[in-house]
Amino acid sequence: MSDKNKDKALRHERRKFSVRKGLFGTTERPRLSVFRSDKHIYAQVIDDMAGKTLASASSSAEVRGELKNGGNIAAAKLVGKAIAQKAKSAGVTKVAFDRNGRKYHGRVKALADAAREGGLQF
């Protein structure tokens, strides 16, 4: 890995920890964590007090037959709707949004907006 990529990864890790230290998923308000890779986007509803994942959705599973590419805004919207539906079936309506050090922009924003449309409050 080049020095430029190492610096970029370190900056991302600092942002991630900075955002994460202010968030803690409780039983009443679990954490909605979003992970974005180059090819896919993943979302989990996590109760940090119990250390359990209550619901999860990903573009690799939810979008498999519908879209050719799992790493675009359309896929993020489908994952947002899926995570909202799964969270509501698990009895969760309010969440704390953890963008995992990423900008609230593009795919992360599309997932959040779709989750709100699906009935989650944050």
pLDDT the model gives residue 69: 83
Tens digit of each residue's pLDDT (9 = 90 or more) over 61-74: 877 778 878 889 99
Asked if residue 10 belongs to a domain, the reply is: yes
Query: Into how many domains does the chain fold?
Result: 1
Do 19 and 100 contact (CB within 8 A), yes or no? yes
pTM of the model: 0.86
Asked if residue 9 belongs to a domain, the reply is: yes
Residue range(s) defining the domain that contains residue 84: 3-117
Question: CATH number of the domain that 58 lies in?
Answer: 3.30.420.100
Asked if residue 69 belongs to a domain, the reply is: yes
Asked if residue 17 belongs to a domain, the reply is: yes
Asked if residue 122 belongs to a domain, the reply is: no
Residue of 1, 22, 4, 3 whose CA lies nearest to 99: 22
Tens digit of each residue's pLDDT (9 = 90 or more) over 21-73: 777 777 889 999 999 998 999 999 999 999 999 999 999 887 777 887 888 99
pLDDT the model gives residue 89: 96
What's the CA gap between 58 and 75, in Å, rounded?
9
Pairing between strand 31-36 and 52-58? unpaired
What's the CA gap between 75 and 73, in Å, rounded?
5
pLDDT the model gives residue 24: 78
- Assess whether pLDDT exceeds 90 at residue 120: yes
